[in-house]
Structure formats: structure tokens, C-alpha cells
Amino acid sequence: MKKNYSIVLILLFAILSSFAQDKDTPRSGEGIYAFLRRHDRDAVANYDEFIKLNKNKLGKNNSLLNGVTYLLPSIVDQAETKKQIAKQETEILESIADEQLIQKSPDTQARTKQQTHRLPLFGKMYEEYTVKDNMLSGACFFLVSGHGGPDSGAIAKVDGKNLHEDEYAYDIVLRLARNLLEHGATVHIIIKDPKDGIRDGKYLNNSKNETCMGKTIPLNQLKRLKQRCDAVNSLSRKAKEKYQRAIFIHLDSRSKKQQLDVFFYHQSEAANKKKSKQLAETMVKTFREQYNKHQPGRGFSGTVSTRPLYVMKNAKPVALFIELANMQNINDQKRYLSDNNRQALANWLSMGLIKDYQQSE
């Protein structure tokens, strides 16, 4: 009798739980990640559970169908789940921060004469770098970190400290530049800070020391953007390399609730549109592959689109505009606050550029 009573209680609890579970229909064009975030669920932590709950209601590639009602994962214990996911992602990114970008054959290694160079702009800890191979020989890159000088860009407050977009964009640009030089590329760093090299640590202090190729950065936005485009275009005209790419790196600022993956803008002008879009799509593919490899199930929702930005309309070389994170979102902050994660971002961007160069040949 007691056994039957227990079974009845279990069934009753299951029925009540199903009635209590949240459910809703998606908005037009909404994917699983956006749907979960709109209902205050961590997209990464709840993705797999959402698939299990709704496995018979999903479209191709787990797309959401209009007019279909979907069950939402319970919020219970979500904080602990998010904590575990964040810990897992940090550990993964840390483990790959020093990962070799491209596996070379023994023959390639044997032919490559490694040379050590020094660039003080990288700072005392990183100023020496070794040219490991000639994989990017014949490629020329113009790297532009967003804002700088009198304009610090977006500002986020973390642990009572004000963190500025230009400092984190600059640190990642330097790491990217170092990676590309190690593979034999010609690299021009357009925005420079004579004091701040590559910096480890979580909090990067703000300064106004940045210049545009040694020239004072104007406060006026239009003049500021024109100055860096003029610098890129002038160097491009003098460059001998046929393959030239201008890379503009920023961090976005949106609602604290809006979690973003890295996303890309390509040029829309006819002269460069095809190659610029191809580069953007190669980047998205590279990031998706790396997340699938190192963190299966996480997914990657980064996008490719175009936008009439001044630098994209006026840069003469093929250009790509990159937004690395939403500075205000607590999950996105992990992506740029950790120096290991900043290095991982630089590594993956390098992978994408190497693939694009190889495809262009």
C-alpha cells in the first residue's frame, strides 16, 4: 500500500511540474540562443537541456519554428550551472592560449630558419618574437584598434573599476600582430601606445598616450576616422604585397543582458565586397570550428553582415571590422578580461587570416 502511495505522489509531482514549467513561442527569426536569453536563461548553460525538452519540435539544424510552443528549462540551480559552464570555458581557453596555430609538416619545419626579432612596442615581456615559418610571406596587414587618444570608446564598470574599450582592443591587436609576424607577414600597427605593450592581467589602466602612426589623434570623430584611413591607404599604396588586409578591432556596448559572440562587418563597395565577405565568412567558420573542437555543444552565433561605417567605406584595401564582445555583459566580459582569453582571441583571428590567405593563392 505504501509503495502504491509513493508512486501516486511521484506521478502527481511530475504532472504539477509540467504545468508549472515555462513555455512560449519564438519571435520571427529568433534562434535558440536568443529565445533562451529573452527568457532570462543562460544560453550556453541551457542549450542542451532545451534540445532534450523540445527534440520533436525543432526544424532543420535545431531551428525554431514559427507558431510552435517550446518548453523552457527550469531556472532552478541555473546559477550553479552557469558557474560550471564559465569555469569550463575559461579552462578551455586557457588550455589553447598557447596552442600552435597551424600544424606544419616536418619538411616545412626543416626548411624554415627561425629568426628572433625585437619590437619594443610589444612591451618588455613580449618584445622578442621568433619568425617560425613563412606561412604568411607575401601578406600585408594593417591592424587598427578602435578609438584611442582622447576617445576611450565604450566603458564598462567591473569590480568598481572603469574599463575602457580602447585598452582591450589595443592589447588584442598587439597579440594578433605578434602572431602574424611569427608567420612571416608584413604588419603595420596603425594605432600605437609608446608605453603600453602587451599586458597580462585582468584590469588594463586607461591612458591617452595612443597616437596614429606617431601623430596626435583628433578629438573630432570624423577627423579621427579619416586620419586612420589615410594612414592605412598611404601605407597600402607603398606596399609591394598583392595580398593586403585592413583589420579594425572593437568591443561593443549594449544592454547588460545581451550576450554576444564575436561578429563581423564586411565592405559593401563593389571593388572589395567579395573578398571582404569571404574573409568574414572564413572568420565565422574558424570560430565555429574552434568552439566545436574545444567546447562541444556550446555553439557559435557570430554573424556576418555589412554596415556603412566610415572606415569600411574609405579604406582602400580589403577590410574587415570585428566586434569582439559586449563589454557590459557579464559572460562576454570573461572573453576580454582574462589575458589568456585575449590571447585565444588573437590566435583564432590569426587562424582565420591564415586560412583566408591560403584560399587567395
95-136 pLDDT, tens per residue?
Answer: 444 343 433 333 334 344 678 999 999 999 999 999 999 999
Q: Are 93 and 73 in contact (CB under 8 A)?
A: no
- Is pTM, for the whole model, over 0.75? no
Q: Where are the alpha helices (DSSP H) in the chain?
A: 2-20, 32-38, 43-53, 78-96, 106-111, 165-182, 221-238, 273-294, 310-314, 330-337, 339-360
User: In this structure, are 58 and 116 located in the same domain?
Assistant: no
Q: Are residues 70 and 197 in the same domain?
A: no
Is there a contact between 70 and 35 (Cβ–Cβ < 8 Å)?
yes
pLDDT tens, 248-296? 999 999 999 999 999 999 999 989 999 999 999 999 999 999 999 888 8
Kindly state whether residue 205 falls inside one of the protein's structural domains.
yes
Is 57 part of any domain? yes
What's the average model confidence in pLDDT over 10-17?
48
Residue 100 lies in a domain: no
CATH number reported for the structural domain that contains residue 152 in this entry: 3.40.630.40
Mean pLDDT of 214-235: 96
Give me the amino acid identity at 77: D
Same-domain check for residues 16 and 157: no
Are residue 69 and residue 189 in the same domain, yes or no? no
Residue 356 to residue 150: CA distance in whole angstroms: 34
209 and 314, same domain (yes or no): yes
Number of domains comprising the chain: 2
Q: Are 125 and 26 members of one domain?
A: no
Pick the last residue of a domain from 76, 92, 126.
76
Q: What is the pLDDT of residue 42?
A: 72
Which structural domain, as residue segments, surrounds residue 37?
A: 2-76
Nearby residues of 60 by Cβ (< 8 Å), 6 or more positions away: none
CB 268 within 8 A of CB 280: no
